[in-house]
Chains A and B, each alone.
Chain A
């Protein structure tokens, strides 16, 4: 440390940082802990201890089918976003042509677009054109918000990629397509995986587009939680949310460990 924690300045900085972490984690802790209470209404800190809400949430078919919808949509959107995003990122880094920066800016622009604006635009668009049916509307919308994340992660990775490796492969007789699959892809794979995971999470957590575009009979999990929370505070919603948090935590730790043991993290 440049500044000692024992100095007044260091102490104030440390205090603010501790406060920040408490602030960041408090609502998440609430969501996990509140359904443990046996009072029948949500309170934090919880009073008593029961696992019945968690048990009930695991068997609640409404939430389970919403989870299935969310997973399906997130997986489809992430895979499409990954495919078109990586192809575009490769093109953007591999070739230079006039307007390349503009194209890149356009591809990245949904990042800054308020999702609500996108949702209003797409809803009107689908109503008027009748294009796409069922859950594909939401998938299309999520592809638009997920692709920029894939690009954001894979562009720097591809830019850092040593072009001479690809040239060496070409020199050894590989076609451009073969060189991409044999040399480029394996080297930049961690970046692409990270981008796809990010896309998956974005789609899975997204609520605004889902509110507008999900099939009426098949809401996604965030929409279910959103509606349930608006209607009232049942412990079962909190239990579902708590499970979601715990699953996220587990997956994050798993991803981290895999990366660490796989030796791919730098």
Chain B
């Protein structure tokens, strides 16, 4: 079933935890709530789970409004950041908990628990208490416990944050496979953009309780709605500048670092004389000769090899710092102090007017 959040709002006294959040998650899709710490992700998720009563706004699942429905009557599976496994119950008993509450008969219950243990590669660990399991195993028990009740909605609050980097990636992919297999509509909270991009269909970027942008990973990366989103998702260089003139839909800007660049469709506000910043992604920069036209003159400060790419940290003529991600072979032979040309790829600049 699809989930629809409408103007969801939560305030604590005068503090706004979530401000007028609206989003729609189609049946079987996964929405990632992404944002820095304290931006209201957990609060949003817990309102959907029914643990926090919204100050205003509504939550619909399918055609029913569940805004005031108590948590235990909502058909949601939830995986907590700390897993919240019942410490006095074994792995199998933890998984069976929801089935017991639903009055599932013993034979069926045992069969479903066993199936779930198998599916999550937990067979053999059924009788262990949570404290006798590793972090990754605990995480899988938590997922199994949420999935075994066949919820129509799956909610995940930073479920991988306690795992190490390797395990995190494989578990994330496994999770998204299960979510698709069960056809679950889900909301997934994270502050890790790579994680959000790799497993969610839609990403909602939040800041200070406010929704900044909602869209697919590529939309958000390629057409960030504002400077915050551009900065939060991926690496970004911001080049200060001023609009020189309009050319139809497009405009030409003069950048402080000493180039005139064409901006594609920068919006109606980009009138001649307007100050602002242009976003230039590091990978949208190519190395060029320092005298070549259409490139910035820059002094190399540091080169860091990342394997598949090399990050070139350089300083522009106006003193601002810039990072370019280039193929490692291009960076070979460069050394700190050397003068290079950095050429933005065509149509790579996105204009943000100064607010």
Q: Do A and B interact directly, with beta carbons closer than 8 Å?
A: yes
Residues on the B chain within 8 Å of A4, using CB? 53
Given the complex of chains A and B, what is the CA–CA distance between A7 and B53 in angstroms?
A: 13
Residue of A nearest to B52 (CB): A1
Given the complex of chains A and B, what is the CA–CA distance between A4 and B72 in angstroms?
A: 13
Residue of A nearest to B51 (CB): A2
Given the complex of chains A and B, what is the CA–CA distance between A2 and B53 in angstroms?
A: 11
Q: Contact flags (1/0) for B56-98 with A, using CB distance below 8 Å?
A: 0000000000000010000000000000000000000000000
Give the dominant DSSP class at A's interface: loop
Q: What's the minimum C-beta distance from A13 to chain B, rounded to whole angstroms?
A: 16
Q: What's the minimum C-beta distance from A4 to chain B, rounded to whole angstroms?
A: 7
Residue of A nearest to B71 (CB): A2
Q: Contact flags (1/0) for A6-32 with B, using CB distance below 8 Å?
A: 010000000000000000000000000
Q: What's the minimum C-beta distance from B255 to chain A, rounded to whole angstroms?
A: 48
Q: Contact flags (1/0) for B30-54 with A, using CB distance below 8 Å?
A: 0000000000000000000001010
Residue of B nearest to A2 (CB): B51
* Chain A 216-245 interface residues, beta-carbon cutoff 8 Å to B: none
Residues on the B chain within 8 Å of A7, using CB? 70
Residues on the A chain within 8 Å of B51, using CB? 2
Given the complex of chains A and B, what is the CA–CA distance between A122 and B53 in angstroms?
A: 60
Residues on the B chain within 8 Å of A2, using CB? 51
Q: What's the minimum C-beta distance from B55 to chain A, rounded to whole angstroms?
A: 15
Given the complex of chains A and B, what is the CA–CA distance between A2 and B49 in angstroms?
A: 12
Q: What's the minimum C-beta distance from A6 to chain B, rounded to whole angstroms?
A: 10
Given the complex of chains A and B, what is the CA–CA distance between A117 and B278 in angstroms?
A: 83
Given the complex of chains A and B, what is the CA–CA distance between A4 and B70 in angstroms?
A: 10
Residue of B nearest to A4 (CB): B53
Given the complex of chains A and B, what is the CA–CA distance between A227 and B70 in angstroms?
A: 57
Given the complex of chains A and B, what is the CA–CA distance between A7 and B51 in angstroms?
A: 13
Given the complex of chains A and B, what is the CA–CA distance between A7 and B70 in angstroms?
A: 10
Q: What's the minimum C-beta distance from A233 to chain B, rounded to whole angstroms?
A: 47
Given the complex of chains A and B, what is the CA–CA distance between A4 and B51 in angstroms?
A: 9
Q: What's the minimum C-beta distance from A178 to chain B, rounded to whole angstroms?
A: 42
Q: What's the minimum C-beta distance from B80 to chain A, rounded to whole angstroms?
A: 14
Q: What's the minimum C-beta distance from B213 to chain A, rounded to whole angstroms?
A: 33
Residue of B nearest to A7 (CB): B70
Residues on the A chain within 8 Å of B70, using CB? 7
Given the complex of chains A and B, what is the CA–CA distance between A7 and B73 in angstroms?
A: 14
Given the complex of chains A and B, what is the CA–CA distance between A4 and B53 in angstroms?
A: 9
Q: What's the minimum C-beta distance from B46 to chain A, rounded to whole angstroms?
A: 11
Given the complex of chains A and B, what is the CA–CA distance between A160 and B70 in angstroms?
A: 41
Given the complex of chains A and B, what is the CA–CA distance between A69 and B51 in angstroms?
A: 56
Given the complex of chains A and B, what is the CA–CA distance between A7 and B68 in angstroms?
A: 12
Residues on the A chain within 8 Å of B53, using CB? 4
* Chain B 230-272 interface residues, beta-carbon cutoff 8 Å to A: none
Given the complex of chains A and B, what is the CA–CA distance between A165 and B134 in angstroms?
A: 33
Q: What's the minimum C-beta distance from B44 to chain A, rounded to whole angstroms?
A: 19
Q: What's the minimum C-beta distance from B84 to chain A, rounded to whole angstroms?
A: 12
Given the complex of chains A and B, what is the CA–CA distance between A2 and B46 in angstroms?
A: 11
Q: What's the minimum C-beta distance from B324 to chain A, rounded to whole angstroms?
A: 43
Given the complex of chains A and B, what is the CA–CA distance between A2 and B51 in angstroms?
A: 7
Q: What's the minimum C-beta distance from B17 to chain A, rounded to whole angstroms?
A: 16
* Chain B 170-213 interface residues, beta-carbon cutoff 8 Å to A: none
Residue of B nearest to A6 (CB): B53
Given the complex of chains A and B, what is the CA–CA distance between A2 and B70 in angstroms?
A: 11
Q: What's the minimum C-beta distance from A89 to chain B, rounded to whole angstroms?
A: 31
Given the complex of chains A and B, what is the CA–CA distance between A56 and B347 in angstroms?
A: 91
Q: What's the minimum C-beta distance from B200 to chain A, rounded to whole angstroms?
A: 29
Q: What's the minimum C-beta distance from A179 to chain B, rounded to whole angstroms?
A: 37
Given the complex of chains A and B, what is the CA–CA distance between A4 and B69 in angstroms?
A: 12
Given the complex of chains A and B, what is the CA–CA distance between A2 and B71 in angstroms?
A: 10
Q: What's the minimum C-beta distance from A9 to chain B, rounded to whole angstroms?
A: 11
* Chain A 163-177 interface residues, beta-carbon cutoff 8 Å to B: none
Q: What's the minimum C-beta distance from A85 to chain B, rounded to whole angstroms?
A: 35
Given the complex of chains A and B, what is the CA–CA distance between A39 and B70 in angstroms?
A: 55
Q: Contact flags (1/0) for B292-333 with A, using CB distance below 8 Å?
A: 000000000000000000000000000000000000000000
Q: What's the minimum C-beta distance from A136 to chain B, rounded to whole angstroms?
A: 51
Given the complex of chains A and B, what is the CA–CA distance between A223 and B51 in angstroms?
A: 53
Q: What's the minimum C-beta distance from B299 to chain A, rounded to whole angstroms?
A: 43
Q: What's the minimum C-beta distance from A2 to chain B, rounded to whole angstroms?
A: 8
Q: What's the minimum C-beta distance from B157 to chain A, rounded to whole angstroms?
A: 16
Given the complex of chains A and B, what is the CA–CA distance between A42 and B70 in angstroms?
A: 51
Q: What's the minimum C-beta distance from A1 to chain B, rounded to whole angstroms?
A: 10
Given the complex of chains A and B, what is the CA–CA distance between A195 and B175 in angstroms?
A: 51
Q: What's the minimum C-beta distance from B292 to chain A, rounded to whole angstroms?
A: 57
* Chain B 1-54 interface residues, beta-carbon cutoff 8 Å to A: 51, 53
Q: What's the minimum C-beta distance from A232 to chain B, rounded to whole angstroms?
A: 52
Residue of A nearest to B53 (CB): A4
Given the complex of chains A and B, what is the CA–CA distance between A238 and B53 in angstroms?
A: 48
* Chain B 111-132 interface residues, beta-carbon cutoff 8 Å to A: none
Q: What's the minimum C-beta distance from A5 to chain B, rounded to whole angstroms?
A: 11
Given the complex of chains A and B, what is the CA–CA distance between A2 and B84 in angstroms?
A: 14
Given the complex of chains A and B, what is the CA–CA distance between A73 and B165 in angstroms?
A: 62
Given the complex of chains A and B, what is the CA–CA distance between A133 and B13 in angstroms?
A: 61
Q: What's the minimum C-beta distance from B103 to chain A, rounded to whole angstroms?
A: 21
Q: What's the minimum C-beta distance from A34 to chain B, rounded to whole angstroms?
A: 39
3 contacts between A and B (CB under 8 A): A2-B51, A4-B53, A7-B70
| B residues neighboring A (CB under 8 Å) | 51, 53, 70
3 nearest A-B residue pairs (beta carbon): A4-B53, A2-B51, A7-B70
